[in-house]
Copies of this chain bind each other. A is one copy, B any other.
Amino acid sequence: MNAAAAPSDIRQHLLLTAQRIMGGKGFSAVGLNEILTAAGVPKGSFYHYFDSKEGFGEALLEAYFADYMERFEALLTKPGMTAAERLLSYFSFWLETQASHDPEGKCLAVKLGAEVSDLSEAMRSVLDRGTQQIVERLAACIEAAVADGSLIGERDAQSMATALYELWLGASLLAKITRSRRPLVSAMATTRQFLFTPVHA
C-alpha cells in the first residue's frame, strides 16, 4: 500500500515500462518477467490486463503511435512558422531523439518493425496503420507548404512524403548500426536538397 500509483493505470504503467525496455532490447529478447519486475507488478497480474504477450505487443504499439501522433500534431501546428519550417522542425526533432541514446522516445517502428512484422500479423497491422498515418500527415503538411508558398510542389505530396519517411527510417536504422548520428545528419541534408531543389525541365 505504499508506493502504489493511481488505482487502475497499472495497465498504462506496464505499457510505458515495456516501451522503455523493449525499445532497447526488442520484443522476443525481453521476457514478461523483466517488464513485470521493472514495473513492480506481480507476475500473476499480467493476464488480468492482457490476454497474451502478443496482445500486449499490440497494445504497446497502439499506445506508442497514439502518443506519437499527438506530439507530431502539436509540432506540425505550432504557430508562427511556415509549413516548410514545420516540416524541417519535425525532422530535426527526429534527428535529436534518435541520435540520443536515451531509451525513452526511441522509434518503435524502427526498432520493432522488422522483428515483429513476420512474427505477428496483429502487431504488423498496427505498425502498418501507424506508419501510414504518419506518411499521410506528412503529405498534408507538404501540401500546406505548397499552399503557403514555402515549398514548390513539383511532385505529388504523397510520394514526397513516402520518400522522406523511407529515407528517415533507413537513416535511423543505420544510426543504430553505426551508433552514430552521422546517418541522421546526412538524411537531414538530403531532406533539404530534396525539398528545396526544383526539378529542372
Which residues of B lie under 8 Å from residue A25 when comparing CB positions?
118-119
* Interface residue from B24, B113, B168 paired with A176 (Cβ < 8 Å): B113
Query: Chain A's interface: helix, strand, loop or mixed, by majority?
Result: helix
Do B29 and A114 have beta carbons less than 8 Å apart? no
Question: In this assembly, does A178 line the interface, its C-beta being within 8 Å of a C-beta of chain B?
Answer: yes
Q: Which residue of B lies closest to A158 (CB)?
A: B186
Do A177 and B128 have beta carbons less than 8 Å apart? yes
Q: Which residue of B lies closest to A123 (CB)?
A: B177
Do A163 and B187 have beta carbons less than 8 Å apart? yes
- Count of A residues near B, CB < 8 Å? 49
Interface string of A28-68 (1 = CB under 8 A from B): 11000000000000000000000000000000000000000
Given contacts A25-B119, A163-B187, A189-B159, contact A178 B128 (CB under 8 A): yes
**Would you list 15 pairs from A and B whose C-beta atoms are within 8 A, ordered by A residue?**
A29-B115, A111-B114, A111-B115, A113-B114, A113-B177, A128-B178, A159-B190, A162-B183, A163-B167, A165-B170, A166-B183, A166-B187, A168-B170, A170-B172, A198-B200
